[in-house]
Amino acid sequence: MRRLRMPAVVRAVLTSLAALAFALTLAVAPAAARPFAPVQGGFQPNAPDVPEHVPGRVLVKLTSAARASSFRAQATRFGGAVAGARFGIDAIDGVLDNAGATAVAPSYLEPANAVEAARLGVARWYTVSFDESQDAVDIANQLSTADGVEAVSLDWIAFPAVVPADPLHAMHWGHNNTAQMLSYNWTNNNHETGSPVGTVGFDTNAQAAWDAAQGYGSASVIIAIIDSGVQTGHPDLTQVAGYDFGDNDANPDDNSSQAGHGTACAGVAAANANSLGSAGAAPNCSIMPLKVANSAGTMSFTSIQNALYWAADHGANIISMSLGAAIASDAATDAAITYAYNAGCVILAATGNENKSTISYPAINPNVIGVGAASPCGDRKRSSSLSTEVNPGVSTDPRGYTCDGERWWGSNYGVATADAGGAVDVIAPTILPTTDRLGSLGYDASDYSKWFNGTSCATPYAAGVCALIKSANPTWTNAQIRARLTSTAQDVVNAESGAGWDRYAGYGMVDAAAAVAGAVPPTDQVTVTYPNGGESLTTNSTVNITWTSVGSFTTVNLDYSSDGGTTWTSIAANTPNDGTQAWTVPAATTTTGRVRVSGGTATDMSNANFTIAAPPADQVTVTYPNGGESLVAGSSVNITWTSVGSFTTVNLDYSSDGGTTWTSIVAGTPNDGTQAWTVPAGTTTTGRVRVSGGTATDMSNANFSIVLSTGYASLPYSTSFDSGVLDAYWSTFVTASGRVQLLTTNTPHSGARHMVMDCSVANNYSVAAADLKLNLSGVTQANLSFWWKDFGDETQTQDGIYFSNNGGTTFTKVYSLAPASFSNNTWRNVVLDVDALAATAGLALNGTFVVRFEQYDNQPVSGADGMAFDDISVTIPASLPAGISAETEPNDASTTANGPVGTGRAVSGAVGSSTDNDWYYLDVTTAGTLNLSLAITGTADLDWYLYNSALTQVAQGYSTANPEVGTYSATAGRYYVKVNGYLGATASYALTVTGGLANANIPPQKGLAPLGVIANAMHQNSPNPFSTGTSIRFSLAQRGHVNVQVIDASGRHVATLQDGEMPAGQHQLEWAGRTSQGTRVAAGVYFYRLTTPGFTQTRKMVVTN
């Protein structure tokens, strides 16, 4: 059986929970739900089952060459969807077809550091969605073997925990241990009735640390909490802007159905010293809340990865992750961690709560500080020695449980080598008082919790100590802060931990006072990270030697040894200590290569030998066209090849005589395996292509043919059907009783005839379509104009205009003709921007372009069904006025509007934020009808508004259609067009304005109707905030009982908007801001909740006065 190219064992949980012992062996049946027991929930011998990963979803990383060959993938940005849910790569699309993939979208936002993101391949990850009934593991296995796939992963889930609550700063043994902590009472199942325990003085010396120059820390030092969110407006927390990656909005409030964990972590790190509750480790530092739980409480690893990129790009100094997975690495998360680390972030993660000898990922990552949990009696937090007293998945400990009495969990310990990947770095206090959600939203009305536990508690405490170090030493690097944290930790010595570093407690208990004492940086350190042993380098190639360092030295020396470190040759002297140095690998081969970096008083060399070998012989292999193909003259194809060698550019040539003579196609083009080529106009049966690079050359294995484009019309083209027969460029397609006729009856628009589509047999649904074949090779702009009318209300989603650029093999719908509200038997003119609509659909204009006119219904014209077309033309806009080709920011007001918009020209732009309004202007010289079309990339809802010279709105396009179209009968003068996003939507777009057509009228579109709702969803109400009323929209995947209620902030019922059976599809309810008794509600925050079998979702709304 095929095997999946990704880690073979994966689970993802918040480590405040007992980690799930998932052991998914890939290439077997999909893993079932497994027992799961959160440590905050106490002893749970019978844990409930939980799913391991998000159903109906797989992540796939394309190779660089595959992405470069996929126009659709390259044209799609984060937040959009790949056109057609297919890449245009046969090997991959075949798997997606079999899986019934419904959506393909970029997995991650676009990091600010584009160079680093490209190096890590961030943009090459895509999320594939399909029906939840499909076997995600099997689909991942199939994708892993497809050509063009570099890596595959499931989207694993992390689960938030429930946190018990009670205040009291005096109980905080982590700051000042006076043996005041109350151990867990197994008789009463609580801490409140336990006995005081602890080793006096075994704490972090936080109070002494706060007396140092940095005090409680600096508000400019930001701690990112990647978790379930943080309570908005908590009086004991200082917060900066964050983001909600679970629901993809700007509100990171800790408000999911599984809330509280993130707010508790934030308080441990930085609750204010303000006489409220209990102070955190760094009370004056700021919290950046990064929520990775959606409204249902589900946390996916794609959300966590996006949060890492966002934190790095938005000023986070410290990143705290109380989460983990039982894997050695994960390609997607490794890339995000590397990006954040290279941006200067100090990253901490929990070691895990299973009392196991392997720490969790990402704590195992070498760029992450692994934090274990400390018991108040001077030990690593341990579990019971009895299997009957530990939670499922937790290992027993031969030394027995620690004095805190929480027998059901213990802190994981790692490998026995200091500073190695997989080693514990430090331990920090656990079972502490901290912040809780406010009032009735939380688990205690006091807004604070007393017994927050797990390594999830220890991790943000250590993060707070790092924030104090950063506050005291603002210029220090993340490496220096890590070194200070570990070098000043208090050594833990007991029965399991010997003097100095050990695998159980690492360097020991964090010591805040020692960490901020003095201003002398840690001892100079240098660590070579590449090449560090085991690598195979190629002679005369260029690589980057990389290293990390601690200390104040600003330059380093680099040397190379070919004999394992016996003798050395200088590479560079006094080069900047920036962690990287380009190096041309020597020409001499060796199996005992090492590099050395020296700076200040520190020196380090590769841990083991690496190899330098001669490069393989240059090789090129043409893969397309490779013989036997029949290419169409004037069409566009991609020449493809594979290569071996270090050459970076290639030359491509074409022969029409079997390789006797050659004509250059392109010289010095990048060696990326693909090159677009417009097939020459001349016919031949002996065509070949040749690719040359380095010392290698290859040509097509056999001859291919070039044939003329038969039956494809050149531009300009027009027809009025008056001859009574379709010309050579048309063909028809019908099913069942569908028919296409050229008739004189039913009043043509002009001339004697028009093209009529209907169904010849009543009550027999059929397709009637006509295809116009166009040669658009070399065409960059084209307009399609036609006159259209319906003979009865057309409501079928199939009705419309479709495009194909593969000769009609496949079609993409670009325009809907299903306007049920139109007057019957009324001619309307439709003008479409072909190039703009094709680009939105991911289709290139070429020599085999087909436009399909399609009607679907079950009655003849006499039965009030069917439609007619007349006076169809396809033209190239002539004498276009000068116009812009891209958006120029800022343009959020009419006074800085871009323009002018040229008639018939598609103007590109992008709405980048909720406050971004793109303005354009146009001058109408002759009164007439303006036609506006806004083609939107992806699924975002953008709208346009037309204003006259007095800035009075005169028309708008604000439906959910794509393209968003409309008309206006304009007098001469200046007009303005504004484009923005509905409810903060963002997307790129193409705006097209045409005009001057007498009686022109584009039908108002209702949007392309979906094939069917595939998932339940509750949408954000609109307007929001509101005073007099709001609309609540939701989607149902299947018919069932639906209950929609309004609840106030204290959880009390306000009103029931729906309680009964409803069909599948899109629905909308109205709420006038009144209770079920008709009383007007007070201004404030309210929630609306949808409940249907197997699905519940809650959203927030605001009522104003």
Q: What is the CATH number of the domain that holds 465?
A: 3.40.50.200
pLDDT at 344 over 80: yes
Do 368 and 491 lie in one domain? The reply is yes
Residue 253 amino acid letter: D
Instruction: Please answer whether residues 1015 and 1094 qualify as being in contact, where contact means their C-beta atoms are separated by less than 8 angstroms.
Output: no
| Domain identity same for 406 and 450 | yes
Ordered DSSP codes for 334-353: HHHHHHHHHTT-EEEEE--S
Closest to 234 measured CA to CA, from 68, 441, 486, 422: 441
Higher pLDDT, 428 or 999: 428
Residue where one domain finishes, among candidates 158, 188, 216: 158
Q: What pLDDT is attached to residue 583? A: 95
- φ/ψ of 1046, rounded to 5, equals -110, 135
Q: State how beta strands 812-816 and 800-804 pair.
A: antiparallel
Residue 981 neighbours by CB distance under 10 Å: 22
Task: Reply yes or no on whether the pLDDT at 962 is more than 60.
Answer: yes
CB atoms < 10 A from the CB of 417, how many?
Answer: 11
The fraction of the chain above a pLDDT of 70, given in percent, is 87
Would the pLDDT of 1013 be above 60? Answer: no
H helices within 421-540, ranges in order? 455-472, 478-487, 512-516
Residue at token pair 């760094």: 282
Supply the CATH number for residue 1063's domain.
Answer: 2.60.40.1930
Residue 1004 has pLDDT above 70, yes or no: no
Residue 554 maps to which CATH number?
A: 2.60.40.10
Q: In which residue are the tokens 């390789």 written?
A: 659
Residues 909, 842: one domain? no
Asked whether the CA dihedral 633, 637, 641, 647 is positive or negative, the reply is positive
Cα–Cα dist 198/196, whole Å: 7
1043 and 963, same structural domain? no
pLDDT exceeds 80 at position 373: yes
Question: What φ, ψ does residue 841 adopt, rounded to 5°?
Answer: -85, 0
Q: Which two tokens stand for residue 554?
A: 């600003």
* Mean pLDDT computed over 102-117: 88
pLDDT score recorded for residue 584? 94
722-763 pLDDT, tens per residue? Answer: 888 787 788 888 888 889 999 999 999 988 999 999 998 888
DSSP E strand stretches across 142-221: 149-158, 181-182, 196-197
Confidence of residue 158 (pLDDT cuts 50, 70, 90): low
Task: Pick from 84-88, 649-653, 682-686 the range whose average pLDDT is largest.
Answer: 649-653
- CATH number, domain of 961, equals 2.60.120.380
Q: 1015 to each of 588, 1010, 1018, how far by Cα in Å?
A: 61, 12, 10
Q: Which of 955, 959, 934 is nearest to 946 (CA)?
A: 955
Average pLDDT over residues 236-262: 88
C-alpha span between 755 and 772 (Å, rounded): 13
Which positions are catalytic? 227, 261, 456
DSSP-derived 3-state class of residue 34: strand
Please report the pLDDT score of residue 466 as a whole number.
97
Half-sphere exposure for 990 (CA within 13 Å, toward CB): 20
pLDDT band at 921 (very low <50, low <70, confident <90, very high): confident
CA distances from 823 to 714, 790, 791, 867 (A): 35, 8, 9, 12
Same domain assignment for residues 110 and 181 = no
Q: Return the axis-axis angle of helices 90-99 and 136-144, rounded to nearest 10°.
A: 170
- Structural domain includes residue 53: yes
What is the residue-averaged pLDDT of the chain? 83
Lowest mean per-residue pLDDT among 639-653, 753-767, 801-815, 1013-1027: 1013-1027
Among 875, 907, 940, residue at a domain's last position: 875
The Cα–Cα gap between 996 and 999 comes to 9
d(C-alpha 774, C-alpha 712), whole Å:
5
Q: Give strand pairing partners of 537.
A: 612
- Structure tokens given for 793: 């209300």
Picking from 904, 679, 907, the residue whose alpha carbon sits closest to that of residue 777 is 679
* CA-only gyration radius of the chain, Å: 33
SS3 538: strand
Amino acid identity at 699: M
Average pLDDT of 73-77?
78
Predicted confidence (pLDDT) per residue in 755-791, tens digit:
999 998 888 888 899 999 998 988 887 889 899 988 8
Q: Which domain holds residue 972?
A: 894-995
Nearest to 934 by CA among 990, 977, 891, 882: 990
pLDDT, tens digit (0-9, with 9 covering 90-100), for 378-429: 999 999 999 999 888 889 999 999 999 999 899 999 999 888 889 999 999 9
Mean pLDDT over 255-262 rounds to 82
DSSP assignment of 229-276 equals: ---TT-TT--B---EETTTTBS---S-STT-SHHHHHHHHHH---SSS
Q: What is the pLDDT of residue 793?
A: 67
The Cα–Cα gap between 733 and 854 comes to 9
The interaxial angle of helices 478-487 and 455-472, nearest 10 deg, is 110
Q: Are residues 505 and 421 in the same domain?
A: yes
Q: What CATH number did the domain enclosing 796 receive?
A: 2.60.120.260
Domain membership of residue 886 (yes or no) is no
Q: How confident is the model at residue 941 (pLDDT cuts 50, 70, 90)?
A: confident
Report the alpha-carbon distance of residue 666 to residue 14 in Å, rounded.
54
Helix 331-342 to helix 301-313 angle (10° resolution) is 10
873: three-class secondary structure by DSSP: strand
- Is 512 found in the same domain as 532? no
Mean pLDDT of 213-235: 92
**904/908 Cα distance (integer angstroms):** 13
pLDDT class of 1008 with cuts at 50, 70, 90 = very low
Tokens encoding 681: 């106009």
898-925 burial, b at 16+ Cβ within 10 Å, e below that, comes to bbbbbbbbbbbbbbeeeebbbbbbbebe
Please state the rounded mean pLDDT for residues 890-895.
58
Q: 793 in a domain, yes or no? A: yes
pLDDT confidence of residue 32: 43
- Has residue 883 been placed in a domain? no
Among the candidates 498, 516, 534, a domain finishes at 516
869 Cβ neighbours under 8 A, 6+ residues apart = 754, 755, 757, 770, 786, 787, 788, 853
pLDDT at 1: 26
> Number of folded domains in the chain?
7
Domain-located, residue 1084 = yes
User: pLDDT exceeding 90 applies to what percent of the chain?
Assistant: 37
pLDDT at 25 over 70: no
Looking at residue 708, its pLDDT comes to 67
| pLDDT tens for each residue of 494-529 | 989 999 999 999 999 999 999 998 645 567 889 898
pLDDT in tens, 808-860: 888 999 888 875 545 678 888 887 878 878 887 889 999 889 999 999 888 88
Residue 8 pLDDT > 60: no
In a domain, 54, yes or no: yes
Encode 741-765: b = buried (16+ Cβ within 10 Å), e = exposed. bbbeeeebbeeebbbbbbbbeeeee
Q: Which helix (H) or strand (E) holds 120?
A: helix 114-120
Beta strand spans in 334-439 (E) = 346-350, 369-375, 379-380, 426-429, 432-435
Helix (H) or strand (E) holding 403: none
What value does the mean pLDDT take over residues 184-192? 89
C-alpha–C-alpha distance, residues 44 and 389, integer Å: 9
Q: Which two tokens stand for residue 605?
A: 């060399």
Q: Are residues 599 and 698 in the same domain?
A: no
Instruction: Determine the average pLDDT of the residues in 445-470.
Output: 91
Tell me whether the omega of the peptide bond preceding residue 1003 falls within 30 degrees of 0, making it cis.
no
Type of residue at 996: G
Q: Is the pLDDT of residue 168 over 50?
A: yes
- In this predicted model, what pLDDT tens digit does every residue of 659-695 receive, in sequence order? 999 999 999 999 988 898 888 867 788 999 999 999 9
pLDDT at residue 56 tops 60? yes
Q: Would you place residue 945 in the very low, low, confident or very high pLDDT band (cuts 50, 70, 90)?
A: confident
At 48 the pLDDT is 61
- Verify that 373 and 239 share a domain, yes or no: yes
Is residue 163, in this structure, part of any structural domain at all? no
Q: Residue for token digits 């000068």?
A: 882
Q: What are phi and psi of 623, to 5 degrees?
A: -110, -20
pLDDT of res. 1000: 24
Q: Are the CB atoms for 742 and 726 separated by under 8 Å?
A: yes
CA distance 1072 to 155: 40
Whether the Cβ atoms of residue 991 and residue 901 lie closer than 8 Å to each other:
yes
Residues 477 and 344 both lie in one domain: yes
Residue 529 sits at the vertex; the CA angle it makes with 584 and 420, to the nearest 5 degrees, is 160
| Segment among 134-138, 385-389, 462-466 with least mean pLDDT | 134-138
Confirm whether 1 is domain-assigned: no
Q: Which token pair is 1085?
A: 């925050």
Q: Same domain for 548 and 658?
A: no
DSSP letter (8 states) at residue 611:
E
Residues 691, 664 share a domain: yes
pLDDT of 162 over the 90 cut: no
